[in-house]
Amino acid sequence: MFFTRKRTDGREGQKFCDATDLVDLHSHILPHIDDGSDSVGESLEMLRCSYAQGVGKIVATPHFYPNMTNPVDFLERRSRAVEALAAAVAERRALGEKIPNVYLGAEVAYFDGISRSAAVFDLCIQGTKLLLVEMPFERWSETNIGELISLKAKGFQPIVAHYDRYWSYQEKDLLDRLLESGIAIQLNAEAFLRFGTKRQALGMISAGAVSFLGSDCHNMTTRMPNLSSAVNAIEKSLGCGCVEELMADAAKELDAAEVIA
């Protein structure tokens, strides 16, 4: 299911995404739950901004830190945030506003024992077994890697959140090991926008090592939705067909997911 298919098509520089084809797998658009959106109003602004960039599907992935909260409290707070956002989105749509479909997940901070935890069932993207995991910001141990592999063996689909934020710490062969084990990789849009990381990020896309992109947007000031900028950079270097394929694959993974707003 997760692949190392070479992605490039000779249509470099052409434009593919102009409507609602983009899938943003990583965002902090739910209000009042983490260090993301501060209000329902800001969440709506983030959604409008995403839609204007061509995002048709966006997954809300609030931080879940097992050392700071327990799953029951987190899920309760998340439900309240969803309720508030869904009501506001319904109101805006009734007025004719275009807003991306919102899906629900979490950005789960890695913990030892994650593969044995019953909590992960409720932290997957709702309706799927896709689990977005934020790994330690240091060189990963065999235990860390083993937990991801165990999650996969148990039928979950672990997705390493923003791999671009850890790759400098890791052994050179780690990416191959992850892909061989069926672990999926998500890159943040910012990886394609910085001189120091752009080349490596494009190389990973070209090698078929990336399954999902995310804006990891937190607000409308310092960490705004920015997926289209990354997509433009990919289209320019690797061709529009590359984005088309990446987004079609990502959308397919969300086929069974529940739209919550």
Positions in the binding site for Fe ion (CB under 5 A) = 107, 216
Q: Least distance to Fe ion from the beta carbon of 191, Å?
A: 13
> Is 7 or 57 the residue whose CB approaches Fe ion more closely?
57
> Is 21 or 107 the residue whose CB approaches Fe ion more closely?
107
Q: Least distance to Fe ion from the beta carbon of 78, Å?
A: 15
51 conformational bin, left if phi > 0, alpha if psi -120 to 50, beta if neither = alpha
d(CA 125, CA 130): 6
Q: Least distance to Fe ion from the beta carbon of 165, Å?
A: 9
Residue of 85, 24, 10 whose CA lies nearest to 59: 24
Q: Least distance to Fe ion from the beta carbon of 194, Å?
A: 17
């052409």: which residue's tokens? 14
Residue closest to Fe ion when measured from CB atoms: 216
> Is 108 or 204 the residue whose CB approaches Fe ion more closely?
108
Helix (H, G, I), strand (E, B) or coil at 158: strand
Q: Least distance to Fe ion from the beta carbon of 42, Å?
A: 16
Cβ neighbours, 10 Å, residue 72: 10
> Is 62 or 71 the residue whose CB approaches Fe ion more closely?
62
> Is 24 or 216 the residue whose CB approaches Fe ion more closely?
216
Helix (H, G, I), strand (E, B) or coil at 157: strand
CA angle, 62 then 68 then 72, to 5°? 70
